[in-house]
Amino acid sequence: MNQQLSHLGALVLCCLLAACSPNPAPNTNLVSDALFDQGWQFFRSEKALDLAAAQQQTEWENVSIPHTPKIEPLVVNAQFQGDAWYKKTITTEPTWKGKHIRLKFESAMNVAEVWLNGKKLKTHVGGYLPFSVDLTQQLIWDAPNELMVRLDNRDNPVTGPKPLHDLDFNTYGGIYRHVYLQIDNDLHISDAVAAGKAASGGIFVRYPQVNATQATLNVQTHLVNKNAANKVFRVVQQLMDGDKSVAEHTSESQTINGNSDAENTIEFTLNNPRLWSPKAPNLYNLVTRVYEGDALVDEHTTRIGIREFKWVEGQLHINGEKTFLRGVNRHQEYPYIGYATSDAADYRDAVKIKSAGFDYVRLSHYPHSPAFMAAADELGLVLLDAILGWQYFSEDAAFQAQIQQTCRDLIRRDRNHASVMAWECSLNESWMTEPFIDSLTTIIQQEYPGALSAGWQEYGYDIYLQARQHRLEHYKTPTKPYVVSEYGDWEYYAMNAGLNQSAWANLLQADRSSRQLLSDGETRLLQQTANIQEAHNDNFNTPAFADGYWVMFDYNRGYAPDLESSGIMSIDRLPKYSYYFYQSQRDPDEVSDKFASGPMVFIASEWSENSALNIRVFSNTEEVALYVNGKMIAKQTPDQNNNTTNLKHPPFTFAVNKFEAGELKAVAYRGGNIVAEHTVVTPGEAHSLALSIDTSGKEPQPGVKDAIFIYAQLQDNKGNPLYSNNVPVKFSVSGPATLISPVEVNTAAGIASALVEIGDSLDGINITAESSNLNAAAISIK
């Protein structure tokens, strides 16, 4: 969801998944809010085409936004690169008369050119951040207007990073995030990015003082007057806690000159504020209203969280409480559709990350969607916000100017998010000159005075990011706040500590790696978990205030013909054993109704005749008892060894003398009371399929191109899950939904995953799964 949820003085045609402004003041001169994602047409071309050639194209496909130029296979070996052309007819409305009309693209990959009625209005370089196009002067009234957009996602030396065939991730293409139509009055609040002003533009909220007793809010509003005449205005700031107004302040009247801009600043205090933190992500809605005389001419609602990030002797204190951030890196891709995810899909990713026991996400290695940022605000995920960069630097002035502008635009877009801890305006794993680093850290201070920078080179940055694979050979005790930016993968894959991802010398054998697919079986998934445990435990031997495992979800890479499988969840968002190791590290007293939390226990075994007899159990409790077919094997406390010394909740390892088919049961205790149980049963022969829908805190959303996973689980005749690989399952969908994944999908660890796009309604959506000699399954989405 967009952070600024409503804009009544402007027709911001977006009202995403969360509620818009609380009780917005009526304004009969304005049109109702709506998305501008529908009614587009599309074609793609591997050849570079000019406008005239594109206009002669006859085979346009009807599409809606978000959109990807090509549905890719599960493993992407030849991602589409070329021209992605979009067009849409805009017909003016009488209510638009006298207004100022702009399009805002949330993101489009990678170089965009925009024409209206044959006139080029904009060229924008960069695929991850928003840009706006003013249509006002070029619109033809009372007639259709033809909008044309060309996107070029070919390798680009100005934006970087490496060419796709050398890149560790895929960048995909298309208009993959929302498009808004914004219709402004003459006097209006500017767009933070489009305004192009340092430490200005839109609404900028800062907190000069934060404690549990009192907080000071400094709210800066940038206004634009598109009329030649001077205007007198006043600004009202109202702070809402749910439906309750907890503060309201009105500015003195100000004059804004014709065809000019002005700043308005209101500072006020709030007694006994509900502060934001990972454990208590309290949020407020700040409603900003602009009046010209008695007429309301503009209104924004900005969702904010009041908090203080402070470092004392290198350690992070959030609102005065010392906090270690256990975290993970995330790539935003989905299978098949790449970056073109729905807001609900991004929210579900955030829920999965929080459910796994994490409170921190490094947004690697580029800006992620506003929807994910908003989900982090709501759920309590601290973010390290990053510009695009990966093992690529250029002395070219155009490249450096592009990166510098990206840093500015990133801060302008995201500065009001409670979740953002610091700004990684640094090219990841790329040598950079000191003057270039200085330019980026200076920009951060210009855009957000007092904000902290973070970078992988120690020179210049406030926070030093170092991957564990680099630390193993190049560690020196840091002199500034320190984050283990990545760990647990590369050091168990390639023994060199260098930056060349394609240098595959000295590889460890596959069964020692952390790169294990869900289908690789119990032994290898346990090895991944052992690596993670060892590395995470070792990170506490440094003064790091945070660490980030590499990586949350399996993902595709441009340079490799297979999935990068070090994720603690598969690319289709199914958990591996390591997911439960991290979940066990969360405090059992932390409980939420928005994500998995509280006391937990998990048996990392399939309990088959091939299973290890040293049974590993993950739990965040004091004691665990293990039973085989009702007989207690042992009741014991957590393991104590060299790889558990720093862990709050080490695993439990139980020695079982022999395999006995049947039930393996773990019972977790706190204070002598049973607080959690987990059971694994030796499965029989495959008998049937069972279907489930991945909602992860967000039900399927009709009308917004929501993409959801459907899981078909192999079961025996008693309903126990099987873990078999490569069993073909055929999916079919009826009703207002589309199967994105192939019709036939093989199982991995007993589960076949399908990806389904929801249409305009949930009524009548039925999904079936079939496999030879098994009972079929069906499920309805309601």
Domains of the chain, earliest start first: 4-189 (2.60.120.260), 312-371+380-407+420-550 (3.20.20.80), 601-681 (2.60.40.10), 688-781 (2.60.40.10)
| Residue 634, pLDDT score | 98
| Residue 28, pLDDT score | 35
Residue 507 DSSP class: B
Distance CA 470, CA 624 (A): 37
Q: Which of 19-23, 218-222, 261-265, 418-422 has the lowest mean pLDDT?
A: 19-23
Q: Is 135 exposed, middle or buried (0-12, 13-18, 19+ CB in 10 A)?
A: buried
Q: Average of pLDDT values for 156-170?
A: 96
| Residue 22, pLDDT score | 32
Instruction: Compute the 3-state secondary structure of the chain and give helix, strand, coil in percent, each to the nearest 5.
Output: 15, 35, 50
| Residue 510, pLDDT score | 87
Helix and strand element counts for the chain (H, E) = 8, 45
Q: Cα–Cα–Cα angle for 13, 17, 18, nearest 5°?
A: 100
Distance CA 579, CA 168 (A): 23
Distance CA 192, CA 201 (A): 4
| Residue 782, pLDDT score | 83
Query: How far out from the chain centre does Cα 181 lie?
Result: 24
Q: Average of pLDDT values for 368-375?
A: 98
Contact 553, 575 (CB under 8 A): no
- The bridge status of strand 100-105 relative to strand 131-134 is antiparallel
Return the H-helix or E-strand segment holding 413.
helix 397-414
Look at residue 16 and tell me whether its pLDDT is greater than 60.
Answer: no
Sheet hosting strand 309-312, strand order edge to edge: 309-312, 315-318, 321-322
Mean pLDDT for the chain overall: 94
Q: Indicate the residue type of 230.
A: N
Contact 683, 722 (CB under 8 A): yes
Q: Average of pLDDT values for 660-682?
A: 98
Query: pLDDT tier at 501 (50, 70, 90 boundaries)?
Result: low
The 10s digit of each residue's pLDDT in 248-258 is 999 999 999 99
Residue 68: which of 156, 164, 177, 180 has the closest Cα? 177
Residue 501: which of 432, 544, 550, 552 has the closest Cα? 550
Using CA atoms, how far residue 327 sits from 220, 334, 487, 619, 682, in Å, is 32, 20, 11, 18, 34
Largest distance between two CA atoms of the chain: 88
Look at residue 11 and tell me whether its pLDDT is greater than 60.
Answer: no
The 10s digit of each residue's pLDDT in 382-394 is 999 999 999 999 9
Look at residue 585 and tell me whether its pLDDT is greater than 60.
Answer: yes
Look at residue 17 and tell me whether its pLDDT is greater than 80.
Answer: no
Distance CA 223, CA 262 (A): 5
Using CA atoms, how far residue 671 sits from 621, 637, 639, 674, in Å, is 9, 12, 19, 9
| Residue 8, pLDDT score | 39
| Residue 24, pLDDT score | 36
Look at residue 113 and tell me whether its pLDDT is greater than 70.
Answer: yes
The 10s digit of each residue's pLDDT in 278-289 is 999 999 999 999
| Residue 498, pLDDT score | 60
| Residue 3, pLDDT score | 44
The per-residue DSSP string of 120-185 comes to EEEEEE-SSS-EEEE-TTTPPTTSEEEEEEEEE-S--TTT-SS-GGG-SS----BS-S-EEEEEE-
The 10s digit of each residue's pLDDT in 686-725 is 999 999 999 999 999 999 999 999 999 999 999 999 999 9
Contact 524, 565 (CB under 8 A): no
Q: Average of pLDDT values for 764-770?
A: 97
Q: Is 56 exposed, middle or buried (0-12, 13-18, 19+ CB in 10 A)?
A: exposed
Phi-psi sector, 502: left (phi>0), alpha (psi -120 to 50), beta? alpha
Q: Is 560 exposed, middle or buried (0-12, 13-18, 19+ CB in 10 A)?
A: middle
Strands (E) in 501-579, as ranges, are 546-549
Using CA atoms, how far residue 473 sits from 87, 467, 500, 512, 538, in Å, is 53, 11, 15, 20, 14
Q: Average of pLDDT values for 86-92?
A: 96
The 10s digit of each residue's pLDDT in 46-75 is 999 999 999 999 999 999 999 999 999 999
Paired residues of 661 in beta bridges: none
Q: Average of pLDDT values for 343-357?
A: 98
Query: pLDDT tier at 13 (50, 70, 90 boundaries)?
Result: very low
More confident residue, 6 or 398: 398
Look at residue 12 and tell me whether its pLDDT is greater than 80.
Answer: no
